[in-house]
Amino acid sequence: MEKTRSVIRGVGHNVPTQVVTNNDLAKFMDTSDEWIVERTGIRERRFVEPGTTTSDLALPAVQMACERAGVEPRDCDMIIAATLSPDYFFPGIGTVLQSKLAMNHVPALDLRAQCSGLIYGLATADAYIRAGMGKRILLVCSEVQSPILELSNRGRDMAVLFGDGAGALVIEAQPCLNGETPSSKNSVRGIIDSAMGSDGSGAQQLFLKAPGSTTKGFLTQESLDSGDIHPKMDGRVVFKNAVTRMLEVATTVLERNGVSPGEIDLVLPHQANLRINDAVREKLGVSQERVFNNIQKYGNTTAATIPICMSEAVEQGKLKEGNLVLTLAFGAGFTWGCNLIRW
């Protein structure tokens, strides 16, 4: 069988128009622009208007990705959707998007890898394509998190961090001419390598408890009163794990592909905290201008962060054909991972 490679043909993004500044949040809780900027780098984020669903937010991102790829959504033979904030508890947004996009009755696979959604999704799409099980895959990462945040003093540690946003990718199978696969040593476009990891002992360090089967009654008045319906995090534990795991997985992938940090054209990291990204960048030995950050404008949009960065980097001319690109993420689960791509 002829070898195939996975090429990202188009990437798009969509963020809500409503801008919420740090000062806006300070009207609801004891916080300040100074505290949020100093601890995280975030200056503002976007919140949807009430009623906008996660699949709704994704639609313009899919449209943009498809236009840039020169295809229609119905030309895709699979959907992979990553979110922690779906329209319904079940089913996932994959099937909802299939219908809204008027796609054929293709497989719709929903992924729960939280902030690592793009990385797990890209690795999965690449595996399907290499196995000959998909020719053109739509990967959608979308989050509407504003309704689950607690905009009060009790919820302030989480509420200031997150925002809403969506990104989408069209990933296409291309033949490997003369059997030559994408690598850090040639100019063949495509996904070169991916690595992922998880550690469920950290599940309760960053989670949203209810509704869920650990709650007797699934969702109770007590869940509402105690705040179990809002996300909780041990920020310091997550911070330390994020730096350690992101560094570890990036080093593994760079070493096994013979790439020195200086050879990477662009790092597209998850956007949880500017200090996390700075620490990882410094330890990896990559210069500042080769790391794309936009957390200042959008906060943490969980699975959507990396595709939004990708799409903006393309628009700004910072991500060009032939570039060697590293994605990198850590999130709830814990999950983490990276993809090495010849763009």
Q: Kindly list the catalytic residues.
A: 115, 270, 300
List, in order, residues 6 or more apart from 188 with CB less than 8 Å away.
Answer: 5, 176, 180, 181, 182, 342
d(Cα 161, Cα 32) in Å, to the nearest integer?
A: 13
Number of Cβ within 10 Å of residue 251's Cβ equals: 14
For the sheet containing 108-111, what is the strand order?
A: 4-14, 165-175, 136-143, 78-82, 108-111
Q: Which residues contact ligand UT7 (rule: CB under 6 A)?
A: 31, 35, 39-40, 115, 156-157, 160, 235-236, 238-239, 242, 272-273, 276, 300, 331
Q: How many residues does the chain have?
A: 343
| Spatial CB neighbours of 40, under 8 Å, sequence gap ≥ 6 | 160, 161, 273, 274, 275, 295, 299
DSSP annotation of 205: G
Q: Are strands 232-233 and 206-207 parallel, antiparallel or unpaired?
A: antiparallel
β-pair type (108-111, 136-143): unpaired
